[in-house]
A and B are shown apart, each in its own frame.
Chain A
Amino acid sequence: MTLSPSLAANPDLHRWLSFAPAGRVTIHPGKVEYGQGVWTALAQIAAEELDVALDRVEVAPVSTDTSPDEGVTSGSRSIEDCGGALRQACAQARAAFLAAAAAKLGTGPAALAVRDGEICQDGTGTGLSYWSLGGPSLLGAAAAEGPAAKPASRWSVAGRSAPRLDLPDKATGRPRFLHDLVLPGMVFGRVIRPPGPAATLDEAGAVDLPDGVLATVRDGSFLGVLASQDRIAVAAAARLAAAARWTVRESLPDERGLKGFLLSQPTEDQAVERRDDPAAAARVRHTRQAEFSRPFIAHASMAPSCAIARWDEGADGMARITVWAHSQGPFPLRRALAAGLGLDQAQVTVHHVEGAGVYGHNASDDAAADAVLLARRLPGRPVRVLWSREDELGWGPVGPAMVARLSAGLDEAGRIQTWRQDVWSNGFLGRPGIGGTPRLLGLSHLAGAAPIPAAPDGEPSGAMGATRNAVPAYDIPDLAVTRHRLLTMPIRTSSLRSLGAFLNVFAIESFLDELAEVAGADPAEFRLAHLSDPRARRVIEEVTGFAGWAGRSPAGGTGFGLAFARYKGTSGYCAAVAEVAADTSVTLRRLWLAVDVGRVINPDGVVNQVEGGALQSASWALRERVRFDRTRITSVTWDSYPILRFTEMPEVAVRIVASDQPPVGAGELAQGPVAGAIGNAVADAAGVRVRDLPLTTEQITRAIEEA
């Protein structure tokens, strides 16, 4: 069995698991838990391969001191990367222990089995166990291509729904989040942000600071305060903000002309995918083109970002920095902090502690940098920094605004022959350290520091960045997809869950309905006629079946829409049907989804992720839009950045299509199809195609006027 890439990169078995404390198994994933439930699924994988009960498995939080370096927890890759590595590491550990037991018992390993950690022979306990055999030496080996993991047909823990390990704490209010962590001697910091991304601090101003303030920090346009209590730091920050004098410059585009702005900026243009059929053009009888857009979208985590840092001056004169962060990438954060501060990365330790959901790259890494910059002022003291709600919405990276321009040609029989897709966007890869710069907000405000450069977007492909899912999954003989990455970045962008897939699938699936209309075909039949991949066909057939697509009755302002995508073109399959009531405003009533994510580790975990992806995407599609003026983001509260509420959320039903293919993630595959299904349902109900997200009354009214 070939080693999983993550295990090959971190081959020491003891990096992945330990049989401690007695009677327990502790696994050390390199992927972080942020509410997606990955810890539970990984624990199931370990329990399955080790033949121990699930409740024996504990999961250690990621630490750069002890965990394998698995980079960033992103891209719905944890089950593939970390799950694949753990499966093999645990299978190898089990084999090593069986071999050791066999040697002691004078038998062959094949005569032995493991029952809840105990070594058995002929169904009877041998008195040996993972714990009695002693772990460290047996786990000292490096992983090798060796014992095969258990076939799914023999799974008894994996493949069945397991309750989330973290929820009992969360439902009872036990401290679990970084925001709850209190360290001995901890003090509290707050940062006063500039009044806009291009503003610079002229003068901090004289301020009478309250008792309990321990220090202020000013370096360039970075202004912060440290106090014995958070409430004192908040009050002091308000006084400092009132006294500070800034030079404010207009640096943001005109919000009303956002599409024109995106289309007029200098770009890096790259071919993403090309299929040439020289005869295709001659077969075309009907052509259509259309332009779709999305605004900037905020991550809008329920918790403002938080971090704790301690700066210790070693006796050797070397600084040691310890950071507690809810970053999605503790190892990349360590490297970026070290690079930004001119330190060796061995001087920096990052411990992950759970935060609220982040949905991509929010301000968690920036909060860590803030904490370090403030901690430097008070060596030896843990410094906690909590962002305000306004800073979280106004200063965290956002998902880029985008334009997708599509054109296609149909032949006489209504089959798609040609497809062109051009995507304009800022880059999605704005995480710490990408492109050789730290990309940490506080560091970019220090004296002499350069602003954060425009975000990269990764290799040009249909799996990456702005062109994620820009290559349709349909059978089209002549196709060209091009990425236009903006080289200016007036609003800081980075990864937002599903990256470009949200707009690209919305655009492709909206456009497909427009083409189906030209061809005079039912949207489901039209899609199936262009799909030869049986897994793709299966999710469409499943969702149209259980949504009652064939018997739908759009009447009285009700509409139905269908959409499909295979996430990244290489990952999970998802088809969605939406039912809306729409005239000039939209009520989303119901969503039906069918997914194929390969072999499923935790079925309820998959359903929860798909439901969540669907409902978050519904909120993006119907409501969300970062607002700004020429100097700054202005949608900095839940009033000015509203998201869908309980009374606005639809019913959602999810079905998992059984599959024996390798498992893939489920957290991001619903976003595109749900947006497409809602767009098509709105078109069905309102009789007008709205191509600019979000699908608000304003946009629908404009589309009606332009129709």
Chain B
Amino acid sequence: MGSVNHWRLTVNGTEQTVSAEPGTPLLDVLRHDLGLAGPRFGCGMGLCGACFVLIDGQARSSCDVPVWAAEGTAVTTVEGLAMKGAGEAGGGGLHPVQQAVLDEQAAQCGYCISGMIMSGVALLQRNPAPSEPEVRAALDGNLCRCGTHQRIVRAVLRAAAAAPAGTTPAGAAAGGAAE
């Protein structure tokens, strides 16, 4: 292994310092150094979407981003989506996309659902009222093996309908370190 450096990362609005080699994948740092289980390892090549996080508001894979490249960005994982102080998860504290996933029962094994939620959140932030084809296109980088696609599309559309533009916490979540 090469030299270990310190990296200052802003994750879910909190600045943290981690020690890792520069080439260490951001996903590995999130899961193992920061204890965040939401982003999941699926392929290690950025091909399946299970590890999607928001980086400066854009949904993208974290398995193929080296930790050095994440410095200075705002990283949001599924754990950072729930509205702070709004109650226990499972209740009113969920982001509208998370709530819609539960309302639509939009998962089977659920291994890839956190990555899809990140894609849905990023979509609604840039396009608060997407069409169904736009939702499908936004989720095309996320693979689902259980065949839950239709429910996930419905969930994103439901979240859009439930949360008119400007009222979702997506902006805050995507901004990460939002004041």
Q: Given contacts A171-B102, A304-B42, A646-B135, list 15 more A-B pairs with CB under 8 A.
A: A35-B110, A35-B111, A171-B94, A210-B1, A301-B111, A301-B145, A302-B144, A356-B111, A615-B149, A616-B146, A618-B147, A646-B137, A646-B149, A647-B133, A652-B150
Residues of B18-52 contacting chain A, CB below 8 A? 20-21, 24-25, 28, 32, 35-45, 47-48, 50
Q: Which of A9-17, A162-170, A282-290, A468-476 contacts its partner?
A: A162-170
Find the B residue at minimum CB distance from A389: B43
Check A608–B148 contact: CB distance below 8 A.
yes
Are B105 and A164 in contact, with the CB atoms below 8 A? yes
Contact A643 B140 (CB under 8 A): no
B143 touches A612 (CB 8 A): no
> Could you name 14 residue pairs across A and B whose Cβ atoms are closer than 8 Å?
A34-B109, A35-B108, A35-B110, A168-B89, A171-B113, A172-B82, A182-B35, A231-B20, A302-B40, A303-B42, A303-B50, A357-B111, A616-B145, A646-B139
Inter-chain contact A303/B150, CB cutoff 8 Å: no
Contact B151 A173 (CB under 8 A): no
B79 within 8 A of A: yes
The reply on B160 being an interface residue by CB < 8 A is: no
Interface residues of A in 622-638 (CB under 8 A from B): 637-638
Q: Does B77 contact A (CB under 8 A)?
A: yes
Q: How far is the CB of A591 from chain B (nearest CB, A)?
A: 10
**A170 and B1 contact, CB distance less than 8 A:** no
* CB of A117 closer than 8 Å to a CB of B: no
Which residues does chain A contribute within 8 Å of B25, judged by CB atoms?
231
Given contacts A212-B1, A231-B32, A386-B41, whether A608 and B111 have CB atoms under 8 Å apart is no
Chain A residues near B112 (CB-CB < 8 A): 302, 356
**B residues in contact with A164, CB < 8 Å:** 105, 107
What is the bound-complex CA distance between A388 and B43, given in angstroms? 7
Pick from B20, B50, B82, B117: contact of A302, CB below 8 A. B50
- Which of A170, A173, A302, A355 lies in contact with B143, CB distance below 8 A? A302
Which of B28, B37, B137, B146 has most chain A Cβ within 10 Å? B146
Q: Does A229 contact B (CB under 8 A)?
A: yes
Question: Range of interface residues on chain B?
Answer: 35 or more
Residues of B contacting A: mostly: loop
Interface centre among B20, B37, B137, B140 (most CB of A within 10 A): B37
Q: How far is the CA of A131 from the CA of B32 in the complex (A)?
A: 41
* Top-5 shortest CB links A-B: A173-B38, A35-B109, A615-B147, A170-B110, A356-B111
Footprint of A on B, CB under 8 Å?
1, 20-21, 24-25, 28, 32, 35-45, 47-48, 50, 77-79, 82, 89-90, 94, 98, 101-102, 105, 107-114, 117, 133, 135-137, 139-140, 142-153
Q: How far is the CA of A619 from the CA of B149 in the complex (A)?
A: 12
- Report yes or no: A638 in contact with B45, Cβ–Cβ below 8 A: yes
CA distance A325 to B24 in the complex (A): 27
CB neighbours of B135 from chain A (8 A): 646
Contact A388 B44 (CB under 8 A): yes
The 8 Å CB contact of A608, one of B50, B151, B153, is B151
Q: When A303-B41, A638-B143, A643-B145 are in contact, do A357 and B150 touch as well, CB less than 8 Å?
A: no
What are the residues of chain B within 8 A of A652 when measuring CB–CB? 150
**Complex Cα–Cα for A210 and B4 (A):** 12
B22–chain A nearest beta-carbon distance, Å:
12
Q: Per a CB cutoff under 8 Å, which of B35, B42, B145 touches A357? A: B145
Chain A residues positioned under 8 Å from B105 (CB to CB): 163-164, 167, 604, 608
Residues of A in contact (CB 8 Å), total 62
Measured CA separation A637–B135 after assembly (Å)? 25
- B116 nearest CB neighbor, chain A only: A646
Q: Interface residues, chain A, CB within 8 Å of chain B? A: 34-37, 163-164, 166-168, 170-177, 179-180, 182, 210-212, 229-232, 235, 300-304, 354-357, 359, 386, 388-389, 604, 608-609, 611-616, 618-619, 637-639, 643, 645-647, 649, 651-652
- The docked-state distance in angstroms from the alpha carbon of A100 to that of B112 is 48
Q: Nearest Cβ in chain A — how far from B79, in angstroms?
A: 5
CB distance from B26 to the nearest CB of A (A): 12
A212 closest partner in B (C-beta): B1
Q: Is the CB of A612 within 8 A of B37?
A: no
- In the bound assembly, the distance between CA atoms of A431 and B36 in angstroms comes to 34
Beta-carbon contact of A359 and B98 below 8 Å: no
| CB-defined contacts of A211 to chain B, threshold 8 Å | 1
Give the residues in chain A near B151, CB-CB below 8 Å. Answer: 608, 611
Measured between alpha carbons, how far is A173 from B111 in the docked complex, in Å? 9
Residues of chain B contacted by A180 (CB below 8 angstroms): 37
> Is A172 touching B147 in the complex (CB atoms < 8 A)?
no
Assembly CA distance A647 to B98 (angstroms): 21
Q: Within 8 Å CB of B142, what residues of A?
A: 646
In the complex, the answer to whether B147 meets A611 with C-beta atoms within 8 Å is yes
